Structure 1
Amino acid sequence: MTEQFRLHNTLSRQVEPFAPADGQRVRMYTCGPTVYNPAHLGNFRTFLFEDLLRRTLRLAGWDVEQVMNLTDVDDKIIKRAEDQGKTIGEVTDPVVEVFHQDREFLRIQPAEHYPRATAYIAEMIELVRRLEERGVAYQADDGSVYFAIARFPQYGRLSRLDTRELKAGARVAQDDYSKENAQDFALWKAATEQDERAGAAWDSPWGRGRPGWHLECSAMAMALLGETIDLHCGGIDLIFPHHEDEIAQSEAASGKPFSRLWCHGEFLLVEGSKMAKRVGNVVTVKMLREDGFSAAALRHFVFSTHYRKQLNLTDEALEASRNAVHRVGEFAERLRAATGGTPELAAAARDAEQAVRDALFDDLNAPEALGALFTFLKRANAELDRGGDDPAALDAARRAFAAIDGVLDLVPERTVDDPQLAAWVEERLQARKDARARRDFAAADAIRAELDARGIEVKDTPQGTKWTKVR
């Protein structure tokens, strides 16, 4: 029997007990990137919160089947293809590759499914056909098919919006008078010459066309996870209209609840402003990686603020996270090299593991979990200083630390991914060793300063000289 896991439900605006419908497997849909530009750190804040959620669900004892879609056909992609004289596939394929490289660098566990919208056109057409049969979809004079929100009385309950105050649906021309209602959103868009040139048009019962953005996620979620899923996640910017429209078209088609719980993460700010291309403050994973920030440091930075609170990206915050995970890495090395422990070390391990579970099971409280981890580091280091000889206590500490880090994943890489740098470091360390052997301490100190200038920290231990890239 697991402890009770609780999560904030956007639909009820309350933190609620959560468990998968079948008690075993969480069927989770997470909205992925629109692949016309590499995802920025704001996007990855959401993906990292979902990674923490995924790992915590598994810590609670459940299996997870996650779907993260890749939107590879929409207005922005088609415009990019037109501007570059390419097809949508030629635009999106390289961006998908970059997304997975960034995801792997940040240690985000792979989802079980990464469906691309263009591979589910048949399912999308079938969903529109079902909606038409149920009288909630209609083809307008322009050849596009729209969802009639006036025929779905529950519309607006996720976003808590009054339909009388809604503006025209997103990604739909507001001056299109062929629609029954300016608020109606497009399910299937009649193809334009631009769509045809980009390879973004398919045959359908309503003529050549392409899916609306909202339709894509509903079709892929239901095709892969069923008509009622356990959990649907994304950033708060997707609550309206995207997730509101997903609920409308999915539930109008199936007559069943679409998702049992909706969970949304807040924005990442840059020096107090929302990250956005139009204001030129976009930060990518590649940029931070080139600045020497490790995946562990970026994970710590994201987890240092609760997922439902805005997170501010500053140089000071990133540096603090880099220093924090350096401490985690040092502790991991020390725990690995230790030969024994004390009863108090085992008690600290038990307390830490329970405190982390309690924090994460209470609406994914990552900051509190981090606090429990660093309390453990302080207590454990004090016990390791005592030099106990109890191997069972040491094993308990190692198991607890592995369990905690299996969710947070904050231990920095032990080696650098630059073989030339690694070879240079080893050569300089040998030169320093030789200098010390001949008692030329000035030369040894100069080499150490040279290493420090390249971001290499050197430690002389009883087991030999150890080095770590810290920046």
Structure 2
Amino acid sequence: MTLTVYNTLSRRQEPFETVEPGKVKMYYCGVTVYDYCHLGHARACIVWDVVRRYLQFIGYEVRYVQNFTDVDDKILNRARQEHSTMETIADRFIKAYFEDMARLNVKEASEYPRATHTMNGITRLIHELENKGYAYPSNGDVYYAVRQFPEYGKLSGRKLEDSQAGAGGRVDLEDPEYQKKKDPSDFALWKAAKPDEPAWESPWGKGRPGWHIECSAMVRDRLGETIDIHAGGSDLVFPHHENEIAQSEAVTGKPLSRYWMHNGMVKVDGEKMSKSLGNFTTIRDLLDRGVDPMAVRLFVLMAQYRTPIDFTDEAIQGATNGWNTLKEGLLFGYQYGEKLGWGQGGLLGGLGDNSFSPSPLPPLSPLPTPHSPLPEIIERFQEAVNNDFNFPGGLIVLFELAKELRREGNIFVHEGKTEISPLELFKQWQTLVTLARVLGLEAEMKVERSVSDNLSDAEIEAKIQERQDARIAKNFVLSDRIRDELLQCGITLIDSREGTRWHRN
């Protein structure tokens, strides 16, 4: 089962082979920190988080670098509006970024370089481009001479003559400074200082870097001249990533990245997300409305990472329902493990009473032990995901396990025993938890029996009725919250055609 990856550069799926065996150097073009992160950022960060997790799961040592763009016109504009500074704005939204990602269970990168902390690397790279004839100064600015790089357009497939003037994304055709360029397709590497704007010293005078050169310099400084995966949203293919290639490869003469990977965009109710349309949703707004962060992760992972996804109320409700199914399977051990004899002195002695927390991720081909995931299930999961990170295919395996565990739990509640042996159920549960961790889907349960004992039967029945009323009103967020609150109190609900039954764990 060889991992294959779709490479935007070659426009085909290729076997995954790293520059250095067993190691992956991965760079993700991160956020420009002038506002709270939105659903598009959520999708990208979750996708590349899971790609990294999976690479680690199959045995790679991954160095994952994600940058922050902390010098930009949008940041400066917000600073002016708030009578603040660029640094203050950037620091505030970097802090908010980490808060939002923690809620989504996105693991921190190996390193987070910032553009303002990479000025020496940026000016050095521009100086090398100038010496090699790829860059030229013009009245305090420095521009990249696109026509000097014959391979320009190889990533996006665009021909230079078809590119519109000003396609660099940072040039206004009406701006007099546009006239500084020798060719309409040239883009800025360095911008001369303007009044009342932050500026840094350089051989070309005080100024600040262009957007594209920042990432080229950060990749080189932190990961070297050639990396394994350069990732980002599909909107970055042109001009940002195209320009990165032109800048970096003109200096080094080496490929900037072996694989260029891009996630699809997010729409909201079929429309492109934008503040002007009123459909702009931040991560924290969504989660503060009561949507489970794990449902958001599942929503993202249920789609092939390169395809666009449409965020709708129906879609997030479907993901919430799916997460509830997975969560029941993930909590199986906490609810039934002790009763099935998994604890200390029981079937799998050594786990300890009420201590059913899964062990760390096991090696790929563990020796068969009572504590090992089922190798045939692990193999099915890998076979799916190895096809260009097909996480939807991998999720099928998880849902099968979760539904089986849920079924066995219901049988145990009604009959006092299970159809599948306790040993086999433990292996299934451990396998589910292991694979769910690869996808960053985690559920925890701390049963406080005193809370359960303090709830009277009448109080539980009242909560169940409140949940039923919420379901009738289609307030599924509230109904799910009541179910989870009862579960945390040690009360399990079982829905059937005859109604809802419950029992104390």
Which interval holds the TM-score relative to the shorter structure?
0.7 to 0.9
* 2:482 corresponds to 1:456: yes
Greater shift, 451-460 or 262-271, is seen at 451-460
Q: Any residues of structure 2 matched to 1:237-256 within 5 Å, and which?
A: 237-256=235-254
2:274 matches 1:276: yes
Matches of residues 143-154 of structure 1 in structure 2 within 5 Å? 143-154=140-151
Q: Does 1:192 align with 2:191?
A: no
Q: Deviations over 1:26-52 (max 9, x none)?
A: 000001100001110111101111011
- Residue aligning to 2:219: 221
Q: 1:444, CA displacement in angstroms?
A: 5.4
1:402/1:458 CA distance change after superposition, 3 Å: closer
Question: Is it true that 1:446 corresponds to 2:462 in the alignment?
Answer: yes
2:153 aligned partner: 156
Match of 1:360 in 2: 385
Q: What's the counterpart of residue 28 of structure 1?
A: 26
Structure whose residues are more often helix by fraction = 1
Distance 1:308 1:353 in 2: 24
Closer/same/farther in 2, CA of residues 121 and 348 from structure 1, 3 Å limit? closer
Amino acid at match of 1:333: L
CA distance in 2, matches of 1:360, 1:465: 35
Change (3 A) 1:325 1:447: closer
Q: Deviations over 1:60-83 (max 9, x none)?
A: 210110110000001111222223
Q: Provide the secondary structure at the position in 1 that maps to 2:398.
A: helix
Query: Residue 316 of structure 2: SS of its match in structure 1?
Result: helix
Does structure 1 conserve the Cα–Cα contact (< 8 Å) formed by 2:332 and 2:405?
no
Matched, 1:53 2:51: yes
Classify 1:340/1:121 alpha carbon distance in 2 versus 1 (closer, same or farther; 3 Å). Answer: same
Percent identity of equivalent pairs? 37
Q: Bigger shift: 404-413 or 318-327?
A: 404-413
Deviation at 1:327, TM superposition (A): 1.5
8 Å contact 2:65–2:109 — kept in the other structure?
A: yes
Matches of 2:462 and 2:431, distance apart in 1: 41
In 2: Cα distance, 1:319 partner to 1:458 partner: 16
Aligned-pair CA distance for 1:368 = 1.2
Instruction: Specify the SS of the correspondent of 1:278.
Output: coil
User: Is it true that 1:404 corresponds to 2:420 in the alignment?
Assistant: no
With structure 1 as the length reference, what TM-score do the two structures score?
0.87
Contact 1:346/1:394, CA 8 A, preserved across alignment: no
Question: Residue type of the partner of 1:449?
Answer: Q
What SS does the corresponding residue of 1:279 show, helix, strand or coil?
coil
The one-letter code matched in structure 1 to 2:391 is A
- The residue aligned with 2:397 is 372
User: What do the CA deviations read for 1:305-324 (whole angstroms, capped 9, x no partner)?
Assistant: 11111111011111111111
- CA shift, 1:84, in A, is 2.4
What secondary structure sits across from 2:62 in the alignment? Answer: strand
How far, CA to CA, are the matches of 1:254 and 1:464 in structure 2?
Answer: 60
Give CA deviations for 1:145-179 in whole Å, capped at 9, x if unaligned.
00000000000000000000112221023241221
The answer for the alignment partner of 1:419 in structure 2 is none
Rounded to whole Å, the distance in 1 between the matches of 2:127 and 2:372 is 61
CA pair 320-251 structure 1, distance change in 2 beyond 3 A: same
| CA–CA distance in structure 2, aligned partners of residues 69 and 121 of structure 1 | 14
Aligned CA distance change for structure 1 residues 157 and 459 (closer, same or farther; 3 Å)? closer
TM-fit CA distance, 1:90: 1.1
Match of 1:172 in 2: 171
Q: Is the contact between residue 65 and residue 112 of structure 1 (CA under 8 Å) also seen in structure 2?
A: yes
Q: Structure 1 185/165 Cα, relative in aligned 2: closer, same or farther at 3 Å?
A: same
Contact 1:143 1:190 in 2 (8 A): yes
Structure 1 residue 87 displacement after superposition: 1.6
Counterpart residue number, 2:209: 211
CA distance in 2 between partners of 1:415 and 1:31 (Å): 38
Structure 1 residues 446, 236: closer, same or farther in 2, change over 3 A? Answer: same
Q: How far 1:409 moved relative to its partner? A: 2.6
Q: Could you list the per-position Cα deviations for residues 347-367 of structure 1 after superposition, in whole angstroms to 9, with x for gaps in the alignment?
A: 994443222211111111111
Give, in whole Å, the separation in 2 of the partners of 1:48 and 1:233: 12
Instruction: Please state how far the C-alpha of 1:335 moved relative to its aligned partner.
Output: 3.1
Alignment of 1:53-202 (within 5 A): 53-140=51-138, 142-167=139-164, 168=166, 169-175=168-174, 176-195=178-197, 200-202=198-200
User: Shift of residue 446 of structure 1?
Assistant: 2.8
Residue of structure 2 equivalent to 1:329: 327
Quickly say closer, same or farther: Cα 1:383–1:253, change in 2 above 3 A.
same
- TM-superposed deviation, 1:381: 4.3
SS state of the match for residue 190, structure 2? strand
Cα distance change of structure 1 residues 459 and 221 upon mapping to structure 2, 3 Å threshold:
closer
Distance of aligned partners of 1:74 and 1:447 in 2 relative to their CA distance in 1, 3 Å threshold = closer
- Between the aligned partners of 2:420 and 2:396, the Cα distance in structure 1 is 28
Could you tell which deviates more after superposition, 76-85 or 128-137? Answer: 76-85
Maintained 8 Å contact 1:456/1:467: no
1:114–1:316 CA distance, 2 compared to 1 (3 A): same
Change (3 A) 1:460 1:310: closer
**Cα 1:261–1:319 shift into 2, 3 Å:** same
Aligned counterparts of 2:224 and 2:66: Cα–Cα separation in 1: 15
- Distance across 2 between alignment mates of 1:277 and 1:352: 44
Q: What TM-score does the superposition give when structure 2 sets the normalisation length?
A: 0.82
Query: Alignment RMSD, CA only?
Result: 2.9
Paired residue secondary structure (2:189): strand
Distance 1:446 1:360 in 2: 44
For the residues of structure 2 that align with 1:55 and 1:85, how far apart are their CA atoms?
41
Aligned length, in residue pairs: 444
- 1:375–1:348 CA distance, 2 compared to 1 (3 A): farther
Q: Residue type of the partner of 1:74?
A: D
Report the residue type matching 2:181 in the other structure. Answer: K
Change (3 A) 1:298 1:426: farther
Contact 1:187 1:215 in 2 (8 A): yes
Distance across 1 between alignment mates of 2:373 and 2:224: 44
Q: Which deviates more, 200-209 or 78-87?
A: 78-87
Counterpart residue type for residue 263 of structure 1: M
Letter of the structure 1 residue corresponding to residue 12 of structure 2: Q
Contact kept in structure 1, 2:193 and 2:208, CA below 8 Å: yes
Separation of aligned partners in 1, 2:251 and 2:32 = 25
- The Cα shift of 1:403 comes to 2.0
The structural deviation recorded for 1:25 is 1.3
Q: Which runs of 5+ in 1 are unaligned?
A: 417-421
